[in-house]
Amino acid sequence: MHSFPFRVPALRRSVTRLYLSRQALLSLAALACFAFAVSAAHAQSQYHIDAAKSQVQFNLGGFHEVNGVFQITSGNITFDTSSGQMSGDVVVSAASGNSGDTARDKVMKSKELHVRKFPEITFQPKHFTGTLNHSGDSTIQVHGLFTLIGKPHEIVVPMTVQVNGNQCTAKGTFTLPYVSWGIKDPTMLFMKEAKTVKIDVTFEGTLSEGK
């Protein structure tokens, strides 16, 4: 049997190099995962809506044009600027609807919105498309679920966003087909009313980094 003692050191060096190369690759992979996690953490932000400074306005066309407002109860949204994912909700008090006509508002609340059974109108954003800048102005499309009289509906809200430091103002305008969504048609005889209602939202709030 032949022995090759001169090959053992070379073999050991090859094994060592292979081991070190493997360790280096593992280290690089770990660093890459860490960097991705840090980047994802920084991409997560929270938007706290100041209910006292925010408002939902509505406009109903037809025989009698009706304009009014609803008050926001609360609003907290988490969003990821890199992926566009969003979560959270904006809650509106259904009973706060005010058009300035007491009799009209009473009908709206009791026979159309059924506020005792459905006291809240909510919007749950799921994701946005477009680029949301860290400062200045942005235009995005917010996709989410709008829940009215207990029924969720998918909608897309075009919004303009203005960021100044940690202060953020978001405005959007969209139209809701409220009659086809199950709300009683307010049309009476020849006094026809529009089957859709225009909604204008204005959110004022503060931004913070997600945990």
Rounded CA separation 57/135 (Å): 26
76's tokens:
């907290």
182's tokens:
């199950």
In our burial notation (b when 16+ CB lie closer than 10 A, e otherwise), range 184-211 reads eebeeeeeebbbebebebebbbebeeee
Q: What is the pLDDT of residue 187?
A: 65
Each residue's pLDDT tens digit, 53-68: 999 999 988 667 889 9
Calculate the average pLDDT of the chain.
Answer: 84
Each residue's pLDDT tens digit, 83-107: 999 999 999 999 999 999 999 899 9
Per-domain residue ranges for the chain? 5-41, 44-209
Rounded CA separation 136/167 (Å): 11
CA distances, 118 to each of 92, 114, 148, 181 (Å)? 11, 6, 8, 14
Kindly give, in sequence order, each residue whose CB lies less than 8 Å from that of residue 174, ignoring residues fewer than 6 positions away.
155, 156, 157, 158, 198, 199
Q: What is the pLDDT of residue 58?
A: 96
- The percentage of residues in the chain with a pLDDT greater than 90, rounded to a whole number, is 65
Q: What is the pLDDT of residue 53?
A: 96
pTM for the whole structure:
0.76
pLDDT at 47 over 90: yes
Q: What is the pLDDT of residue 9?
A: 57
126's tokens:
């799921």
Rounded CA separation 121/180 (Å): 17
Rounded CA separation 145/126 (Å): 8
Q: What is the pLDDT of residue 44?
A: 86
Instruction: Determine contact, residues 149/114, Cβ cutoff 8 Å.
Output: yes
Instruction: Determine contact, residues 199/174, Cβ cutoff 8 Å.
Output: yes
pLDDT at 26 over 80: no
Each residue's pLDDT tens digit, 69-78: 999 999 999 9
Domain 44-209: give its CATH superfamily: Lipid/polyisoprenoid-binding, YceI-like (2.40.128.110)
DSSP letter (8 states) at residue 82 = T
Q: What is the pLDDT of residue 22?
A: 56
- The percentage of residues in the chain with a pLDDT greater than 70, rounded to a whole number, is 74
Q: What is the pLDDT of residue 12?
A: 53
